[in-house]
Amino acid sequence: MSNETIFGLWKDWRLHAVVFLIVIISEAIGTFSFSLGPGVIMILPIIYAIVFGIMMYFTPFINKKQSKKADTLILLSVTVFLGKIGLTVGPALPDIIAAGPALLLQEIGNLGTILFALPVAVWLGLKRESIGMTHSVAREPNVGLIMDKYGMGSPEGRGVMSIYIFGTVFGAVFMGLIAGLIASMTPLHPLSFAMASGIGSGTMMAAASGSLIELYPALENDIAAFAGASNLLSLSTGLYVSIFIGLPLTEKLYKLMTNKRNKTPEIPVQKKSVK
Amino acid sequence: MLLKNINEWILLFIIIGVISLVGNFVGYNIMSLNAIAGISVLIIISLISLVLNKVVPVNFPTIGYVSIIAVLISTPWTPGSDLILSWTNEVELLALATPVLAYAGISIGRSWTDFLKIGWKSIVVASVVMIGTFIGSAIIAEIILNIQGII
């Protein structure tokens, strides 16, 4: 990551003032929660902060240049945030080591993306895009993997990019909303959901574990520690799980699912080309 | 060059630190010397990590250094970890996340037009992708934690 162009960034008082105001307003509103059927939906200050941030981009206060400067500030503020997570993981290290097997194996649960989402994508009529879309949660390393393997303009590349864009814009909001909802609706233990919150994106983890903490305040430290540890594992192992298991599995399942469907239409197409 | 970088980082961290402390006060009613000490510790960890990322000739990410340093200084076996934690405990985790996401929102604004182009099918699939990984991981974690007798 290049830090060469950031000089003088601190002087952009308008950008900092906007963020300062967003933070004060978001924190002042506080968490807003309401029931939805058997579950609870929670809207945390961090979710207002994203939404206000996006809205500010479309006002004269923030221009494109400042939006690019924000990238550097995300990098710096996220290091502070991850430092705090690290300081939560440290004291819980004995517990985390004890739960090591669960932590390691739940990484495989990230393959749940394939089992749940690939059938949906194929059913919606998506072709090879669905491989790029569903082989992982499509964060930066996975976009790199797909581009490397299939190329920029390939259907797989387009697929992974569309999920990446959705994740970038809505990932944290979405995870914040569904983490609270799913956790309040299902009987699974909060610690299992804490581990599930670490999917390799700092902002999504913050939103998901934040909702869990609001739901189970007594378990705050454990939730943050397990989410943080799981996120670290996802960051360091996620790409390898995708290379060796995720992507080959998606390819296989895709072939299996489309062979049955396409057997009949494929034959006429071949005849045409022979003629 | 590195000194110029460090200088810039310190100024930016002061801005982020002040914003976080005010958020910590507005959202969680904590404003104390301990909180100021806590945020300073976090900033020092971040600074050391940024410098290591620049200086060490290995391709290892800054957030990797941050995590390792933070975990190592706070284990129950580390002398002095209690003192550091008594400071950082007064800085709420979510108060630190709010500025990150405010900056993220401003950055995300640029992707908005791309987002409008991706189509409803992609949105459906993306939602299932995220729910899938969350539930998939939670189920496996639940099973193994049960087998281990931890929960």
pLDDT in tens, A8-66: 898 999 999 999 999 999 999 999 999 988 899 999 999 999 999 999 999 999 999 99
pLDDT, residue B56, reads 95
How many whole angstroms from its chain centre is CA A266? 37
Given a contact cutoff of 8 angstroms between Cβ atoms, the answer to whether A193 and B133 are in contact is: no
Number of residues in chain B: 151
What's the pLDDT at A259?
A: 86
The pLDDT assigned to A37 comes to 85
Instruction: Please tell me the predicted confidence (pLDDT) of residue A272.
Output: 44
In the predicted model, is pLDDT for residue A166 greater than 70? yes
User: Which pLDDT score, from 0 to 100, does residue A118 have?
Assistant: 97
DSSP A242: I
* pLDDT confidence bin for A1, thresholds 50/70/90: very low
Which among A184-188, A197-201, A266-270 has the top mean pLDDT? A184-188
- The residue written with tokens 């996620």 in the block is A238
- In this complex, which of B8, B23, B145 lies closest to A191 when CB atoms are compared? B145
DSSP state of A59: S
For A267-275, which contacts have Cβ atoms below 8 Å and span 24 or more sequence positions? Answer: none
* Interval A177-197: pLDDT, tens: 999 999 999 999 999 999 999
Q: Which chain A residues are within 8 Å of B132, Cβ to Cβ?
A: 112-117
pLDDT < 70: residue spans in chain B: none
pLDDT value at A274 more than 60? no
CB contact under 8 A, B22 and A83: no
Check: CB of residue A115 under 8 Å from CB of residue B135: no
| Predicted model pTM | 0.89
How far is the C-alpha of B132 from the C-alpha of A114, rounded, in Å?
8
Give contacts of A206 with chain B, Cβ < 8 Å.
Answer: 93-94, 97, 100-101
Q: Is pLDDT above 50 for A273? A: no
Considering only residues 25 to 84 of chain B, which have any Cβ-Cβ distance to chain A shorter than 8 Å?
Answer: 26-28, 39, 41-43, 45-46, 49-50, 54, 62-64, 66-76, 78, 81, 84
Burial class (CB in 10 A: 0-12, 13-18, 19+), A154: middle
Say what the pLDDT of residue A263 is. 54
Q: What is the pLDDT of residue A6?
A: 60
A53 contact residues in B (CB cutoff 8 A)? 101-109
Name the nearest CA neighbour of A32 among A21, A15, A47, A20.
Answer: A47
Give pLDDT tens digits for A91-120: 999 999 999 999 999 988 889 899 999 999
CA distance A227 to A206: 9
Q: Is the Cβ of B122 closer than 8 Å to some Cβ of chain A? A: yes
- Cα B96 to Cα A62, A193, A200, A202, B88: the distances in Å are 22, 21, 18, 12, 11
Distance from the A271 Cα atom to the nearest Cα atom in chain B, whole angstroms: 31
Residue-level pLDDT at A262? 58
| Sign of the torsion formed by the C-alpha atoms of B41, B47, B49 and B51 | negative
Question: What residues of B are in contact with residue A2 (Cβ under 8 Å)?
Answer: none
Of the candidates B70, B118, B134, which has its C-beta nearest A90's C-beta? B70
Query: Can you tell me the mean pLDDT for A219-224?
Result: 95
Three-state DSSP at A62 gives coil
HSE-CB at A130 with a 13 A cutoff on CA atoms is 28
A-chain CB neighbours of B129 within 8 Å are: 113, 116-117, 133-134, 137-138, 163
Predicted complex: ipTM over 0.90: yes
| pLDDT at residue A121 tops 90 | yes
